[in-house]
């Protein structure tokens, strides 16, 4: 069951039957099936995640195992970091958990253990529950999970739209991604965007530092962008993509005059940052003179980088590239993740 993006937290009467609100967690969506001592964790796209989180498998086996009938939960695998009283979600540490080596998986399961936050119940007590209204599924989830212990949690929920709007602001300080509004009377509808999600959206002026050729071999696949730090160094902070076929070709022409070239007039290229998600993929890019400024939309930062791919808003020919620094970014007030989980 998926969510459709909306610009603001909707009023409860905007959907027939009303809405129930929840924090939007920033992790790996997971469908967990516990059948006796067998535990399976599948991603939203049905990819198996079980082997990467042995500590969660053990927790589900301990807290849900031994039942006469399977339990199926929908939720989010997350990972928290920070000192007690100042914890927050840590996407970078979570992404490191997807590793091919069994020894590495075992080591990280101890050093950076994950948590699971349940927000829906799809089967229990020998019956599938997907045809039931969400309010009833939620009530059954609360009853089933009354005695859950860390690292297993149930997300909080409210019918108060004003409180949901407060969560949108305050919970960001703990690394959460926004707010989800769920129709109270609707069944569970796999593949349909029946839920509504509100995420943080901000703008920033950034410097174009390079571009990658589209996988088709024609046009700009993505623009790499950067910001100046306090030390005067220009640092890559993310990328802009999702251009149309026509726009990709146009961008090559528009950026031609600022392509860095060597003494022989050939474009200078660089090698982009790699991760396990870019394994085997060409990360080289054409370098640009740091003079072109563009405005982008983003939701949040992960350290010194944009958490997700940012969206192109407009060119800013009126803006000096050197003035595009980290100080323009809005920093949410810190909020302890433990206060969201409890």
24 is catalytic: yes
Helix (H, G, I), strand (E, B) or coil at 290: coil
Nearest to 340 by CA among 76, 14, 10: 76
239 within 8 A of 224, measured Cβ to Cβ: yes
Q: How far apart are CA 325 and CA 174, in angstroms?
A: 24
Catalytic residue among 24, 182, 197, 199: 24
Instruction: Work out the number of other CB atoms within 10 angstroms of the CB of residue 317.
Output: 8
DSSP string, 102-167: HHHHHHHHHHS--EEEEEEEEEETTEE-TTS-HHHHHHHHHHHTTT--TTEEE---BS-HHHHHHH
Q: Which of 60, 83, 80 is nearest to 72 (CA)?
A: 60
- For residues 333 and 170, the answer to whether their CB atoms sit within 8 Å is yes
163, 126 contact by CB (below 8 A): no
Which residues fall within 8 angstroms of residue 229, CB to CB, at 6 or more apart?
A: 235, 304, 325, 326
Q: Which helix (H) or strand (E) holds 63?
A: helix 54-64
Contact yes or no for 67/151 (Cβ under 8 A)? no
In a 13 Å sphere around the CA of 7, the CA atoms on its Cβ side amount to 1
Q: Which two tokens stand for residue 100?
A: 């091919």
Q: 220-228 and 28-35: which strand pairing?
A: unpaired
**Residues 94, 114: contact at Cβ < 8 Å?**
yes
Active site residues: 24
């Amino acid at each position: 069951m998926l969510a459709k993006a909306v610009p603001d937290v909707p009023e409860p009467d905007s959907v027939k039957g009303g809405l129930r609100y929840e924090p939007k967690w920033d992790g790996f969506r997971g469908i967990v099936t516990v059948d006796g001592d067998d535990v399976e964790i599948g991603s939203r796209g049905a990819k198996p995640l079980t082997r990467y989180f042995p500590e969660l498998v053990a927790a589900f086996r301990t807290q849900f195992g031994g039942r006469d009938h399977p339990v199926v939960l929908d939720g989010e695998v997350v990972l928290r970091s920070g000192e007690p009283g100042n914890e927050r979600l840590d996407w970078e540490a979570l992404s490191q958990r997807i590793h091919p080596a069994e020894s590495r998986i075992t080591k990280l399961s101890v050093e950076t253990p994950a948590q699971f936050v349940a927000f829906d119940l799809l089967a229990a007590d020998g019956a599938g529950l997907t045809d039931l209204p969400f309010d009833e599924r939620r009530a059954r989830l609360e009853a089933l999970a009354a005695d859950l212990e860390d690292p297993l949690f149930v997300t909080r929920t409210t019918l108060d739209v004003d409180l949901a709007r407060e969560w949108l602001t305050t919970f960001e300080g703990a690394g959460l991604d926004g707010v989800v509004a769920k129709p109270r009377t609707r069944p569970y509808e796999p593949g349909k965007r029946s839920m509504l999600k509100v995420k943080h959206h901000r703008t920033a002026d950034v410097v174009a530092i390079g571009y990658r050729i589209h996988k088709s071999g024609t046009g700009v696949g993505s623009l790499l962008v950067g910001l100046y730090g306090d030390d005067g160094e220009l640092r890559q902070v993310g990328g802009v993509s999702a251009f149309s076929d026509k726009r990709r070709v146009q961008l090559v022409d528009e950026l031609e005059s600022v392509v860095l070239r060597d003494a022989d007039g050939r474009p200078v290229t660089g090698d982009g940052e790699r991760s396990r998600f870019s394994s085997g993929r060409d990360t080289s890019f054409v370098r640009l003179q740091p003079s072109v400024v563009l405005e982008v939309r983003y939701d949040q930062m992960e350290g010194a980088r944009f958490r997700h791919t940012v969206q192109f808003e407009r060119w800013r020919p009126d803006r000096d590239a050197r003035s595009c620094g980290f100080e323009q970014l809005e920093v949410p007030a810190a909020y302890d993740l433990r206060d969201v989980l409890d």
